[in-house]
Amino acid sequence: MINRAIENIVVKKLTDKKAIILLGPRQSGKSTLLEMLRPQLKQPVLWWNGDETDVRAFLEKPTSTLLRSLIGKNKTVIIDEAQRIENIGLCIKLITDNIKQVKIIATGSSAFELANKINEPLTGRKWEYHLYPLSFGEMVAHTNLLEEKRLLHHRLIYGYYPEIVTSPGNEQDLLKQLANSYLYKDILTWERIQKPDKLEKLVQALAFQTAQVISYHELGQLCGLNSETVEKYINLLEKAFIVFRLSSFSRNLRNELKKSYKIYFYDNGLRNAVINQFNPVNLRNDMGQLWENWFISERIKYANNSGKNMSRFFWRTLAQQEVDYIEDTKGVITAFECKWNVKAKGGLSRAFSNAYPEAKTHLIHPGNAHEFLVSKN
């Protein structure tokens, strides 16, 4: 069993009165983590799954009396895929407020749907955490640094979804199944999207434009959608933890790009599955994109697993000078330029260094990336 870095953070919150909300993409290991935590939970444990019709029906119109009868003598209630349940926020609130001996843990694969249902009812009543696919740092802790560096080419192509990591030899089939079965499931359910084929085309277009500045208008033309719908769909894909956007960093110069976005996938393997591109590293022409996507997504997982808070950006000027990735941590600026081939010409933009002389700067390549992704503790 691969230990998850966030486990210790969650364990510390098991003894207080607040609900624990665990968000992350489907198949990222949320249920497995809760199974690992089971011995530390107050017993007995009741487990509800929001994907099950009878569970949704019972909890659709919750009352304190109904919930007491359903929970019985259980001391911990786990609600898996909680976003599928109407009034889940009210349900958790009633348990937290009126059945005080019970600890609630809810998981969700939709930040959009679950946030809409819990934020107001659970103000001051919840701890919220994210569980992404496995990280480089978690795998180093599971094996060792040398082993994980040896597997870097493999991870760049197939990613870190737990089932992919633990099923060597079946990566392509499993990733295709993951993409086909789960990628659009929640989005189509929430929004009743009328043209799922166009959503699929959009995801493929985003995969080809990974690590590039995107235009909603151009994406719309490629997919047969208007700009507003493209932006709406990308927002939904973000809430389902499939992609994320970086906005442009702009403070000092007139010619800095403003209100622009670059797109990334949380997992390289899922990105490659969307476009059915599993060629090995030496036969690819998109290694710059894959390397940048890998490092930035890993940096996000590292910050999440370490409890670090920061704002994230990219930087670019109208003259095409750019920096791949920028972190702002309480006003401290750190800039990263990602280079798959360390011998390639070019480093961090001199224009950026001149405009932001106080910024820390790093050139990230396969030889040193681990220094920024593995906890020093």
Cα(147)–Cα(128) distance, rounded to whole angstroms? 33
Does any domain span residue 2? no
Residue 234 shares a structural domain with residue 312: yes
* Strand-by-strand arrangement of the 243-248 sheet: 213-214, 261-265, 243-248, 311-316, 322-329, 332-338, 360-364
Split into its structural domains, the chain has a count of 2
Model confidence at 193: pLDDT above 70: no
Does any domain span residue 70? yes
Q: Which of 115, 130, 145 is the last residue of a domain?
A: 130
Residue 86 shares a structural domain with residue 207: no
Q: Which of 104, 130, 156 is the last residue of a domain?
A: 130
Pairing of strands 213-214, 261-265: antiparallel
Cα(325)–Cα(298) distance, rounded to whole angstroms? 12
Q: Which of 130, 160, 183 is the last residue of a domain?
A: 130
Q: Which domain holds residue 154?
A: 136-372
pLDDT digits (tens, 9 = 90+) for 135-155: 999 999 999 999 999 999 999
* DSSP 8-state secondary structure symbol assigned to residue 101: T
Does any domain span residue 194? yes
Model confidence at 286: pLDDT above 90: yes
Of all residues in the chain, the percent with pLDDT exceeding 90 is: 69
Does any domain span residue 76? yes
What interhelical angle do 196-208 and 227-239 show, nearest 10? 80
Bigger pLDDT: 34 or 121? 34
Residue 118 shares a structural domain with residue 30: yes
Rg (CA), the chain: 22
Residue 167 shares a structural domain with residue 105: no
Residue 92 shares a structural domain with residue 146: no
Residue 220 shares a structural domain with residue 334: yes
Under the banding of pLDDT at 50, 70 and 90, the label for residue 18 is: very high
Residue 198 shares a structural domain with residue 216: yes
Instruction: Say what the pLDDT of residue 49 is.
Output: 93
Residue 263 shares a structural domain with residue 363: yes
Q: Would you tell me how many other CB atoms lie within 10 Å of the CB of residue 112? A: 19
Residue 93 shares a structural domain with residue 47: yes
Residue 126 shares a structural domain with residue 140: no
Does any domain span residue 142? yes
The whole-number average pLDDT for the span 333-345 is: 89
Residue 211 shares a structural domain with residue 359: yes
Residue 48 shares a structural domain with residue 181: no
Does any domain span residue 377? no
Cα(82)–Cα(67) distance, rounded to whole angstroms? 15
List the Cα angle 101/106/112 in 5-degree steps.
140
pLDDT digits (tens, 9 = 90+) for 214-226: 999 999 999 999 9
Does any domain span residue 1? no
CATH number of the domain within which 118 lies: 3.40.50.300
Instruction: Say what the pLDDT of residue 187 is.
Output: 73
Cα(17)–Cα(107) distance, rounded to whole angstroms? 17
Contact 366, 344 (CB under 8 A): no
Does any domain span residue 185? yes
